[in-house]
Chain A
Amino acid sequence: MSNIYNPFMRFILITISLLVAAPCLWAQQAAPAGLELSPAIGATGSIVKPTVSAMLRLPLNHRLSVVSHSLFSLLLFRNQPQTYMQTHYNYSLTQKFGLGYALYGKGGKARHTVFLLGGIRYATFKESLDHPDLDRVTTVTSTVVPDYGLMYGLSLGRKRYTFDTRLYLPFSPIRYYPQGTLNNLVYLEFGIGIKRCGGNKGQFRGR
């Protein structure tokens, strides 16, 4: 995990910074009314990697919305520690867009949304085998793959700030679904939803 001088790693650090800084910009009310931002942290499935993400949601009406979901995941700890195996770095960036359909709980305090999302994921990792009795071998993988699937989002609260949780179930690659679906695309996230202030136009409180 030490290649901080790698240009792509720098790009990723900038992206994370933007994800964190976005709520601050939000406070300056630069965004359209009704827009919601939801930064979150979580973890992917197998293998387990921490994630940082941000979802932007623009309601079209009471039920439908368009969304953008950006996610960065980084292998911080080995899932299968091996004495003679070394991971130099392992991270991925995902950007998806899609549509959401919302249902509201009693009093409008809970919002359940199903999102249909599609986009791309860039994944890269570098690993080495280093055994005293064997030749040292290093492999590097960098690839871009499609990423599409369904996301369930639960948003609790009806004021400006809400508690959000999201579960993403991938369908890609659909040809080998379900056994061949990419396991590491599954993720669960928890975060804070922040609604744009400045009038009720475009904001839906539910029923």
Chain B
Amino acid sequence: MKILIAACFGLLLLLPACRKEKIEKDQLKEFSLASADNGVTYSIKVALPENYNASRQYKTLYVLDPQWDFNLVALACRKQARENGRDDIMVIGVGGGNDRLDDYLPVPLYGKSGRADDFIRFLRETLIPVMERDYQAEASRAGRGIVGHSAGGLCVTYCFTNYPDLFGTYLALSPALWVGDLVVLKNEKANRAANQDRTGIFFLAEGELEEEVMHAPIAAFRQVLQQYYTGYAQQYHNAKGLDHLGSKAPNMQKAIAFYVQHL
């Protein structure tokens, strides 16, 4: 009986190892790229679309925190592309580099320096030109999107408020908008007049059980999106009964579905 109980307990703990799906190796490209700005090296992962052909142009979706989310996004994108008859979406993971809080936050927090401006400069001046030159990425704002969760989600919203010419699609999942005394909300207000006539895609999501500091800033951001950014195709999703981490996977699936359907 003791052995049976121990075996059951072990099986329960091994449960997560049972369902790993991955992108095929021949459709996955990996390389390193150093920032010309500060010499930090980033690990880039590219999931090529099915039937990739070097003679045509591709839309790109840049994934933050790829160490956790690259497969999730790439597989969801592949599924949605198949269902919607699209074969022109390339998924790019931007990993390595600095600590994620250094790269994704626009202000210092928890002893991290908050160098989102440097990180976005790396995207603009180094990575995006490489993708356009070597992988036939579309050289237009409308062809580029960015997705992130939590601190990554905050970086997505920071791109929206402060670098709106870079991406046309924003998929912000549980963005940590409370950071820096609501700095992104303040930036949005300060830059609203210059930004609100733009068009694009915006997906905002959170988990119903995200407590303490998440709900109210996201609700405030949602309000201004709906009120002032009417040129954007928008969707908001609240994952019922799920918290910050639990809501990530289902919200990511919803975000990718919305993105592919509105491209």
Contact = CB atoms under 8 A, between A and B. Distances in A.
A80 B16 contact: no
A181 B246 contact: yes
Nearest to A78: B212
Contacts of A84: 181-182
Given A101-B5, A150-B12, A173 B241 contact: yes
B17 to A, nearest CB: 10
Interface residues of B, number: 35
Interface residues on A, range: 35 or more
A114 B220 contact: no
Interface in B66-88: none
Contact of B208 (A141, A146, A150, A171): A141
A150 B10 CA distance: 12
A135 B220 CA distance: 8
A138 B223 CA distance: 12
A141 B209 CA distance: 8
A63 B250 CA distance: 40
A79 interface: yes
B215 interface: yes
Given A82-B181, A180-B242, A183-B243, A127 B16 contact: no
A90 B212 contact: yes
A200 interface: no
Contacts of B245: 176, 179-180, 183
A123 interface: yes
Contact of B216 (A47, A123, A138): A138
B185 A134 contact: yes
Nearest to B215: A139
B26 interface: no
A149 to B, nearest CB: 10
B262 interface: no
Interface string B177-191: 010011001100100
Given A131-B181, A134-B189, A137-B217, 19 more contacts: A63-B1, A82-B181, A83-B181, A84-B181, A85-B178, A90-B211, A127-B213, A128-B216, A129-B216, A131-B186, A133-B186, A134-B186, A135-B223, A138-B216, A139-B216, A143-B241, A173-B246, A182-B209, A183-B245
6 contacts: A79-B212, A84-B181, A141-B209, A146-B241, A178-B15, A179-B16
Interface of A: 47, 63, 75, 78-80, 82-85, 87, 90, 101, 103, 114, 123, 125, 127-129, 131, 133-135, 137-139, 141, 143, 145-146, 150, 171, 173-174, 176-184
Which 3 pairs show the lowest CB-CB distances between chains A and B? Answer: A180-B246, A129-B216, A139-B215
